[in-house]
Structure 1
Amino acid sequence: MSAINEVVKEHRKVVSSWHPQTSVWALAHGATMSALCVAGSSYMVLIRMRQFFNLYSQQYLLGTLLPVVALPSVGYIILQDVFVDRKLISGFSLPETRKSLCSTCLEIRGSFIQMVAGVVAPVLFSVSSCASASISYRTFPVPELTKYRKVFGLVCKACGSFSSTLILLTLANAVVGGFITEKMVEQHALVSATRETINPLK
């Protein structure tokens, strides 16, 4: 674990000092850009869910905003770092591991992580937080948690109220996640090839 941490640290130093930065934009800022997309997607889900539960104006806004927008964004950054970024860095660190690196698999993984963080997690968090708020403010009839079928029906009804938006958000997150991961793979290859040319013995 310490070895990979050293490799990651060294790689990030190289990326931060790379010129021009535009040639490594995905490595330097890709995760942040995707996290902002996740936050925007989560916010859209929250707004539509608040409308469904009749939570207008500022009713419990902060209480729903923090879990629905902040948690998926932070979760995305962690998952992206563990399952994509570190895999790329370790995969490109040695020529033998580079040959076995599946870029398509990583792109699919990047898309999946982005979809889960940008749509699935916000839907689950927003249903629970908005339902809790609607009970406090008496804005929407929420069934008891022990009535599983009614709870499941409520979730389906809530998601169905803006299904077109959810489909578009899912597709958008999949495209963004796959595109940025693809660019990360290309730029990792560029950085590795350039470093090997400059330092052939390393």
Structure 2
Amino acid sequence: MDKSCELNTGTVVYNPNYVPPGSTLLSSSEVFSLRFKAIKSWDRPLEVLPLRYGKDVATIVTLFSSLLVNHHSRLFFNLFTRAGITYSLVTSVVLPTTLTYEMFNHFVFKKILSGPSNSMLYPDCITCLELRGALIMSTCGLFLPFGFSYVSSAITALLTRSYPVPDPFDSKRMWRMFQLYSKSLRTVGTSLLLSQSIIGAGLVFCMIKSNHQMLKQHSSSGSPSEESIETV
């Protein structure tokens, strides 16, 4: 069985090989545009809060976690002044935060809004979308700041001589320094990994639930309507 969801004068179907007669097949970008306009004009804003601000919450959480990782990294390398702070913030805070917003918007938000009304027909299963949200949050909120902070702080420490950074070509001592760095962030890193993964998956779950509720109310009110199409 294939499902279709009528939007204004067009119909978006999950399987383009079975388009209802007399309907207009919309592209995913057109579907997203129509759905996004509906969200912004929804008469009960609380019901669509996860859809409207889900990616913003993910971005803010990543911002704070990146700042925390960057702070601990600079403490490890004894960087108590403003030396190298701009370079450090750009690489380990601004970049991961921007990536979180763009990736959450493209790989989660747009996928949910442009998907079919029947959750069983999602091109990406609900669990896959939740795992994707968790992966985006943990990667941009922990792993990227962890790596970028290490490199930027080590370079600054080498220039300011605030920490005995070994010769970059001495692989054994560099590896030992990295182990010490990882150990110093073990507790914070583990906590951030769990929290980022849970928040990422939870946000996606709430966004999908809000989307289903919105479509259900649209269907019950007759605008848009939902139509079932039997296929072989």
Q: TM-score, normalised by structure 1?
A: 0.90
Q: Report percent identity of matched pairs.
A: 24
Deviates more, 1:134-143 or 1:146-155: 146-155
Q: Are 1:192 and 2:215 matched, yes or no?
A: yes
Which of 185, 199, 224 pairs up with 1:162?
185
Contact 2:166–2:173 (8 Å) recurs in 1: yes
* Offset, 1:113: 0.9
Q: 1:103 to 1:136 in 2, by over 3 A?
A: same
Looking at secondary structure, tell me which structure has more helix per residue: 1
Count of aligned positions: 198
User: Which residue of structure 2 lines up, in the alignment, with residue 172 of structure 1?
Assistant: 195
- List, as ranges, runs of 4+ consecutive aligned residues in structure 1 with deviation greater than 6 Å: none
Displacement of 1:79 in angstroms is: 1.4
Q: Does 1:122 align with 2:145?
A: yes
| Residues 8-48 of structure 1: per-residue CA shift (max 9 Å, x gap) | 22221111111221111110001011110001000000000
Question: Is residue 29 from structure 1 mapped to residue 53 from structure 2 by the alignment?
Answer: yes
Question: How far apart are the structure 2 equivalents of 1:193 and 1:31?
Answer: 23
Question: What's 1:49 paired with?
Answer: 73
1:99 aligns with 2:120: yes
Q: Which runs of 5+ in 1 are unaligned?
A: none
In structure 2, the CA distance between the partners of 1:140 and 1:22, relative to structure 1 (3 Å rule), is same
Q: 1:57 to 1:89 in 2, by over 3 A?
A: same
Q: Greater Rg, structure 1 or structure 2?
A: 2
* Matched residue SS, 1:145: coil
Match of 1:5 in 2: 29
Name 2:103's counterpart in structure 1. Answer: 79
The 2-side partners of 1:137 and 1:6 are apart by 54
CA drift of 1:201 comes to 6.4
Partner SS for 1:186 = helix
Hey, what's the Cα distance between the residues in 2 that align with 1:201 and 1:172?
38
Corresponding residue of 1:62: 86
Distance in 2 (CA, whole Å) between partners of 1:38 and 1:120 is: 11
CA distance in 2, matches of 1:10, 1:143: 57
Instruction: State the alpha-carbon separation in 1 of the partners of residues 39 and 130 from structure 2.
Output: 20
Farther off after superposition, 32-41 or 98-107 = 98-107
- Could you say which residue in structure 1 is the equivalent of 2:12? none
- For 2:29 and 2:101, locate their aligned partners in 1 and report how far apart those are by CA, in whole Å: 17
Per the normalisation by structure 2, the TM-score is 0.79
1:95-143 residue CA offsets vs partner (Å, 9 max, x unmatched): 4xx4233212211111111011100010011001111111121111223
The letter for the 2-side match of 1:100 is: L
Within 2, Cα distance between the matches of 1:193 and 1:159? 48
